[in-house]
Amino acid sequence: MCSIGEDDFGDEGATHAMLPGSSATGTVLSAGSCSKCNLASDELYKLNFRAAECQLCFLSYARHKFRAALGAAKALPRSAEVLLLVDGSGASLVLLDMLHFAQTQNTFKRLHCNARVLYIDACGNDSLSSLHKLHERYAPFEFYVIQLNAEPKSLQSLKEYSASIVNATQQELRSLTARQDYGLQQRKRLIGAVAAHLQCSHVFESSISSTLATQLLTSVALGRGGSVALDVALLDDRLQDDIKLLRPLKDLNEQEVQFYVHAQQLQPFTSENELDQSSAASLQNLTSAFVANLQINYASTVSTIFRTGDKIAAKQQTNVDPTTTCTLCHSVLDHQLSDTLLAIEYSRAVSEMGVALQQHDNMEALEQRARQRLTAAQDLCHACRNIQAELTSGNIP
C-alpha cells in the first residue's frame, strides 16, 4: 500500500512540498578561473546546475545546442534557402548571431545555407533604426520588411521600406484572445507566403523552451490539441508550398538567452502590441504569466512541460487533399462528430435559445442545431471556428 502522505504531510499541510528553486536569471560572476578550460577570465557565467565558465566556453556550449538541434534531426539540407524571422526579442537576435557565426566558420564547421532576414512590422516605423543597426552588424544578410496584414507582393528591402495603411481584421474580433490567436495564424500564413515569394524552402523561428511550454498549454486551452505536437516540434510542415518551419533554439532556456545577449552585447528591441497588455487580458497572456512565474520559482517544471510536448505524436494525415486541412491554420481538420465537440456546441445552443427551452418541442431541435453548427464550416478546425464565432460580422478572410 502506498505510504505517500503518511509521513510527507503533517498537521500543517504539505510540509515537504516542492520549494522554489534558483532564479531563472542565473549569475554573471566577477573574474576567476573557468571550470572547463581552467583559464583566467574577466567574467564568469554561472548557469543553474552548471559550473561557472568563461565567455568563450559558454558561447561554445550555447552554439552547440543550436547546431545539435539541426544536426541530430538532419532537418536542414545542404545549401538550403533559409528565411530567418527577427522580431526584436532577445531570442531572435541570438538566433541571428548564431547563424551568422555558423556561416563565418571555416569550410569544415560552416553551416552551408543561404539566409535572408525578415521582420514583420506590426506598429509602423518604431523599430526601423534598430533594424538598420542590425543590418550594419550582420551585413552579409539581406534584410526584408513587410507589414503584418499586407499582401506578400508588398515585401520590401529594409533600405527601401516605408509603412502604409492596411486593413486589420483583428479589430473586428470581440475578445483579445481571439485577436491574438487570429493574428498568430495570419502571421504564419504571411511567413509562408513570403518564404515562397523569396523561394526559401526553410524558415527559422526563435522559439525557446519557455516559449514552447507556453505555446503547448495555450494550444490545448484554445482547442488546438490535435495539432499541439507540431506547435512545439523542431519541424513544422504546415506552411504552404511544402515550406518547413524550424525551431533550432528549442533547447535553449531564458537564462541562456539572457547570458548570450550579455556576452555578445546584443540590443533587443520590442514593439508595443497587445501581448504587452495586462497578464489577465487574454488566455494567452494569462498562460504566459503562469509559465513565467514557474520559470522563476520552479524552473525544472517548465522543462517538464516542454519535454512533454516532445512526446506527443503529431496527428498523421492519410490524405494530402487540401480539403482535409483547415484553411486558416493548415492543421488536420477535426470536424468529425465527436462527443466532446458535440457537447461544446450543445452548450452554446442552450445559451442562445434561453427561455425557449421551456417548450418540449425545442429539446429535439437543440441537438439537431448543435450538429448543424459542427458541420457549418467544414473548412475550419474547431479552434478556428471559435475565431469565426468571435467575428462581429463577415467571415474569416
- 333 domain residue, yes or no: no
Q: What angle (nearest 5°) sits at the alpha carbon of residue 90, between those of residues 240 and 309?
A: 55
- 49 domain residue, yes or no: no
**Long-range contacts of range 334-342, CB-CB < 8 Å, 24 or more positions apart?**
334/226, 334/381, 334/382, 335/374, 335/375, 335/378, 335/380, 335/381, 335/382, 337/371, 337/374, 341/374, 341/382, 342/370, 342/371, 342/374
- 225 domain residue, yes or no: yes
Residue 72 structural domain: 59-318
- 233 domain residue, yes or no: yes
Which grid cell sits at 278? 495586462
Q: Which of 243, 361, 292, 283 is nearest to 23 (CA)?
A: 292
**At 387, which amino acid appears?**
I
- 177 domain residue, yes or no: yes
- From first to last of the 397 residues of the chain, give the pLDDT tens digit: 344 343 433 344 443 344 444 444 567 777 889 999 999 888 999 988 889 999 999 999 999 999 999 988 788 998 899 999 999 999 999 999 999 999 988 767 788 899 999 999 887 667 888 999 999 999 889 999 999 888 888 999 999 888 776 655 666 788 889 999 999 999 999 999 999 999 999 999 999 999 999 999 999 999 898 889 999 999 999 998 899 999 999 999 999 999 999 999 999 987 555 445 666 788 999 999 999 888 888 878 888 898 888 888 776 655 556 668 888 999 888 766 567 777 777 777 777 666 555 555 566 677 677 666 666 667 888 889 889 888 876 677 6
Q: What angle (nearest 5°) sits at the alpha carbon of residue 306, between those of residues 233 and 338?
A: 70
CB 328 within 8 A of CB 185: yes
Spatial distance between the Cα atoms of 390 and 382, rounded to a whole number of angstroms? 13
Spatial distance between the Cα atoms of 295 and 23, rounded to a whole number of angstroms? 8
- 120 domain residue, yes or no: yes
CA dihedral 73, 77, 79, 84 (to 10 degrees): -50
Number of domains observed in the structure of the chain: 1
- 52 domain residue, yes or no: no
CB 15 within 8 A of CB 8: yes
CB atoms within 10 A of CB 49: 8
- 85 domain residue, yes or no: yes
CA dihedral 253, 135, 68, 109 (to 10 degrees): -150
CB 37 within 8 A of CB 56: yes
CATH code for the domain of 306: 3.40.50.620
